[in-house]
Amino acid sequence: MVVIAGRRVSPQNLGGEYEHITVTPYAGALGAIIGGVDIATEQEEATIAEIRRALIEHQVIFFRKQDFSPEQHLAFARRFGTLNQHDQVKGMEEYPDIIEVRQEPTDTRNFGGAWHGDVTYLPEPPLGSILYAKEVPPVGGDTLWSNLYLAYEDLSPGYRAMIDPLTVIHTPALIYGTKSMDWSKDSSMNSSPTEAAHYEVEHPLVRTHPESGRKLFYVSGAYTPRLKDQTEEESGPIIDYLMYQATREPFTCRWRWQKGDVAFWDNRACLHYALNDYHGHRRIMHRVTINGERPVR
């Protein structure tokens, strides 16, 4: 047992047996390091099944010292589902399913620099993303993840009962809409403000994970500005508190990148945050995102 936010909880199935990979828990709240996998080679079905199981149990899994091509990156990701092309950020010219998350030494804005889940505003948000470190700064540029299961389960029964039936609005408008900051002016990301970002999608505020069966609340920073049938001012106290709850330190882990590292996270069960603390240095990551399903209560 471990103590998180004053409560004794069981780590996520740490005693489970794996036959094809090694799984070493990384932090008390979430995360595990996977060994015995070379992403550049085709994996057996049994190995893929165990990687998926580790992902569901630990929410984010890490692979060290990997070296693979864009084609191999895509082939590995396709073992877990069909691939998603970001609707607001253009992928690489030769590989449109890969977003190059590039920050040059002169850039002042970084991609993913706030707590969020990836493109949760889609009708069927992603299962997860696989991020590959191509070039990293000498210090800084860490990424944090937070466990939305623990954040939900830590709420009082009364608060959970209050939020369980609510619906939340997801939209890309605040980040990619016509009144948003132009990514092309202060970053190296291939995205500009567009009218196409002005749409809304409704999702349950509290969803049931389709594979684990566990409940969590589904907020995503600026992508979730309000609750259904409420104004932003009326919704603010609930959404702000849930974002605070979701990102409390006891529910998080922090990864210090090395070249060749890979992170694969369950976008349905955690938020993440890329730190922007390496000005004057280059950071290049390749991200592939896997399609998911419509959230249900």
Whether residue 47 contacts residue 38, with contact meaning beta carbons closer than 8 Å, is answered with no
Q: Which of 170, 272, 283, 286 is catalytic?
A: 272
**Phi, psi (rounded to 5 degrees) for 294:** -70, 130
| Residue at token pair 């696989």 | 130
**How many angstroms separate the CA atoms of 250 and 232, rounded?**
28
Identify the burial level of 71 via C-beta atoms within 10 angstroms of its C-beta, where 0-12 means exposed, 13-18 middle and 19 or more buried: exposed
Helix spans in the chain (H): 45-58, 70-78, 148-153, 157-163, 173-176, 183-186, 232-246
**Is 214 one of the catalytic residues?**
no
Q: Which of 73, 102, 209, 287 is catalytic?
A: 287
Q: How far, CA to CA in Å, does 120 sit from each of 21, 133, 170, 205?
A: 30, 23, 7, 12
**Is 272 one of the catalytic residues?**
yes
Q: Give the pairing of strands 201-204 and 167-170.
A: antiparallel
Whether residue 27 contacts residue 253, with contact meaning beta carbons closer than 8 Å, is answered with yes
**Is 277 one of the catalytic residues?**
no
**Is 261 one of the catalytic residues?**
no
Q: Give the pairing of strands 60-63 and 32-35.
A: parallel
Q: Which of 97, 107, 118, 154 is catalytic?
A: 118
Q: Which of 58, 86, 116, 283 is catalytic?
A: 116
Active site positions, annotated:
116, 118, 272, 287
